[in-house]
Every structure is written in structure tokens, then in C-alpha cells.
Amino acid sequence: MSNPGGNKGEWKKCTFWAQRVDQGAAEMLWHVEGESEVFIDKMANAGPGDLHEVKLTWQGFIELRGEHVTRLLLSAHGSERLKFGSARDRDDNEVAVLPAGHRIDMACGVRYGIVGVPAAPDQVTADTAPAPPVAPQLGVPEKARQQIAEALGPSLLVFREKVLKDLNLSKEQAGKLEERLQDTVLDAAQFVQKVGGKNPEQREKELHSYRQNVQEKLGDFLKETLTERQRKRLRQVVLQREGLFALGDSKTAKELDITDGQRRQFVEVMQQIQKKIQPLIQEAESTGNAAGIRPKVMRIRAEQQDKIEAILSDAQKQRWKEMLGEPLDLGH
């Protein structure tokens, strides 16, 4: 491995693998993982003992249309070691010969991210794009937006494409939300990598804490970014998605004037649901097929909706209907 600057080194490791997540009519979405390690011991203007080493673990998504990559999102975290100028004579003019004017000897953790979207039609030539150009799209695939909302909480529905359109965002708001989403996805990928080797109980405990932290920070961000009308509409969409399970939220329960007796009945229903879902969770942990149990979990939740609704008075049911606002179909 070399470059025009005179640096020479070697790829000690460069391994990537992918698993298909979803397949649409024209696009295929793949979840990508990988590891890379680069070691450079011959750098331009370097002396004996100087080196540069980077070790990274990768996570992300690639969307394909035929043989062409239409969107790319990768994050990496790991370590970097850089030692430069350590063997130079102390009498040298350091400002003239060393990067930043001083010797470097550092070792630290690092994070990298790569986001790729299709080039605009006026930036593409026939030589570089034999296939018809694909219209520019949002950087994070919709399937990934759906998955992160399911994993980290309903407030992250704000990143779904239909929700963004429904909120009627300004160009500045849309840019801020897209940037926030990319940061969230990169950070979540690193969190998953961090807890991947832990036992299920510890992993779930850390996920619960991580989920709360993400939602709190997102709430502060949305207060600064969205208007009051937009926040109200987003909450309506979130309640539509959660259904009457939102009664577990103290704010929702207060708005509906839920009594202590109703709250006890709600807890009993939730306990019944948990008993039915727990074996499915254990199955997912043993088989590694979390996606396969999701339809079963959704069926169980749907079956219990009627029991929760029966807890409410007619006035509370009417109030609940008003809180939902205009329906927005987000699909599955």
C-alpha cells in the first residue's frame, strides 16, 4: 500500500460482510459489518521508529439498484496510533519540519463516518454512469429509519420520510433533522457493537439506559428545531403508532384523567402481554432472528388493544380520538 506522498504500509486486515435486510421492487438494502487494520511504518519525512496505525470496526447500510450503489451509510470506531518526528535532532527548526510545529506521539480512540448519495444528474457523465441516473434521495434508507424508531423509541418516528413530509418542514429544519439522524444512526451502530458480546440481561439493561438518553436528547433538540404546531402534530403521530399502550406514559394518562383503578387494570393487561412475549424474546436471543418474531409480537399487542380500550369510559375514548388527530399511515 502506497501513495504519491511516499507513505508505505500494509493492510493487516480488511474484512467486510453483509446481510440483506429488505428487498423492494427496484432496491435491495444490506446491513454491512466489517473490520480493518492499517499499519504504516514508512512515512514521508519520517524518521526511525515513526509509525501510523489505525484499527476500526465498521457498521452500516448499503442500498443497491441492480449493480449500482444508490445510497451508502457507514460508521466506524476504533483506535489510532501516530508517532512522528521522534528521532529528529532537537536543534532542528521544528516549526519548519514537523506537522503543526511539534513532535507527535499519540494514541486515542477515533470515530469515522461515510455518507454517500447519488450524484445530481448534471454532475454525471455517460462515461461515469452507463446506467440511467437515480434521482437523489435522503441519505439514510427508509428501512433503517423504521428500524431505529422501533429500537430506540417512538419519538424517533420524526425521522420517517412520511412524517418529515407531514410536518411540512422548512429547508433549514429538514437539513438539521437529516444531520441529526445520521449522527444518531452512527452512534447507535457503535452502541450495538459495544454491547454485542454481553449477556442478554446486561445488554437489555444498557439498551434501556441508552434508549432513555437518546430520547431525552432528541426531545431537547426537537424543542429547539420544530415549531409548537409541528411538535403537537408529531405527538399525534407518535400516539397513533403506540396505540393505547401509550397509557403507560404519565403525561398521556394525566390528559385522559386515568384513575388509580384504571391504572391497575392497565398494568394487569401489560403483565399478561409480557408473559406471552417473553418466550418470543428468548427465542430471538437463541436463534439470532429478532426480525422473525416481530410479526408475532405485533399480533399479541393487537389482540390486547380491545382489553385496554374496555378500561376507558366513553368520555375518555372520545378524548383519546381527539388526541390522535388526522391519521397518518406509516405502514408496518
**pLDDT at residue number 131:** 43
Strand bridging mode 68-84 / 51-65: antiparallel
Going from the C-alpha of 328 to that of each of 146, 211, 218, 321, the distances in angstroms are 15, 25, 22, 14
Residue 223 CA from chain centroid, whole number: 20
**pLDDT at residue number 325:** 93
Cα atoms found within 13 Å of the Cα of residue 318, Cβ hemisphere only: 3
Q: What is the pLDDT of residues 95-108, one digit of tens each?
A: 445 555 556 777 88
**pLDDT at residue number 240:** 92
**pLDDT at residue number 244:** 87
- Rounded to the nearest 10°, the torsion over CA 318, 323, 327, 332 is -110
Give domain limits for the chain: 8-123, 138-244
Residues of the chain with pLDDT under 50: 1-2, 4, 87, 91, 95-96, 126, 128-138
Among the listed residues 40, 44, 52, the one whose alpha carbon sits nearest the alpha carbon of residue 104 = 52
Residue 79 CA from chain centroid, whole number: 22
- Residue 110 · residue 54 · CB < 8 Å: yes
Q: What angle do CA 206, 242, 258 make, to 5 degrees?
A: 100
SS3 at position 132: coil
68-84, strands of its sheet edge to edge: 8-23, 27-42, 51-65, 68-84, 104-116
**161: Cβ contacts below 8 Å, ≥ 6 apart:** 138, 142, 145
Q: What is the pTM of this model?
A: 0.60
**pLDDT at residue number 92:** 53
Alpha helix segments (H runs only) across 142-199 = 142-152, 161-166, 171-195
Cα atoms found within 13 Å of the Cα of residue 176, Cβ hemisphere only: 12
Q: What is the pLDDT of residues 286-301, one digit of tens each?
A: 665 666 677 787 788 8
